[in-house]
């Protein structure tokens, strides 16, 4: 999705890849620009950013999380290849949201952004965002993931958490 402006994205996921070569753009594995609510969602999307001049924003889940943007119980576990001068984070490229608007958001430290303080590209150790290894993702549900909504099975979604009501095929 390009823009979530005051909407709700719930129990959704994205798989595949996205490549960005335009300067000044926002790209995320699920949403480019978020000023609404994202809950119980994930992206296992490969995010590729070629060389660019100027500032672009890249996140494993969201490119830019704006003032009213909220993210809860969601994760990014896709490879990230960033060759740009832009800002990149494991979950969010740039987080401009109100403190407390991001809770229980995770990304895979083994797939490109391995610095555990870089969950958001502009705020080191952004509260509510945590990096996990592949083994941690595949061993149990992360904190804040409701087992009535999320499942964990090594035979489904490559062992990553999946949505019980909307499992990947």
Helices (H) and strands (E) in the chain, counts: 1, 17
Q: What is the full DSSP assignment across 101-158? A: SEEEEEEEGGGS---TT-SBSSSTT-TTEEEE-HHHHHHSPPTT--TTTEE--TTSGG
Range from 60-69, 86-95, 146-155 carrying the lowest mean pLDDT: 86-95
- Asked whether 47 and 81 are in contact (CB, 8 A), the reply is yes
Which residue has better confidence, 48 or 92?
92
Which residue has better confidence, 136 or 27?
136
Residue 67 confidence class, pLDDT cut points 50, 70, 90: very high
pLDDT in tens, 68-116: 999 999 999 999 988 766 789 999 999 999 999 999 999 999 998 999 9
- Strand (E) or helix (H) holding 31: strand 31-34
Q: How many residues are present in the chain?
A: 169
């Amino acid at each position: 999705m390009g823009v979530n402006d005051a909407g709700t994205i719930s129990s959704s996921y994205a798989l595949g890849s996205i490549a960005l070569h335009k300067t000044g753009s926002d790209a995320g594995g699920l949403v480019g620009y978020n000023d609404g609510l994202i809950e119980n969602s994930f992206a296992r999307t490969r995010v590729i950013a070629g060389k660019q001049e100027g500032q672009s924003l890249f996140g494993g889940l969201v490119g830019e999380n704006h003032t009213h943007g909220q993210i809860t119980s969601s994760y990014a576990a896709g490879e990230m290849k960033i060759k740009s001068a832009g800002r990149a984070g494991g979950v969010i490229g740039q987080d401009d949201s109100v403190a407390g608007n991001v809770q229980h958001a995770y990304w895979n430290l083994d797939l490109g952004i391995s610095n555990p303080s870089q969950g958001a590209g502009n705020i080191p150790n952004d509260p509510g965002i945590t990096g996990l290894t592949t083994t941690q993702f595949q061993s149990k549900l992360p904190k804040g993931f409701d087992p009535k909504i999320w499942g964990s099975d090594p035979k489904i979604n490559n062992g990553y958490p999946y949505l019980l009501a909307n499992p990947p095929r």
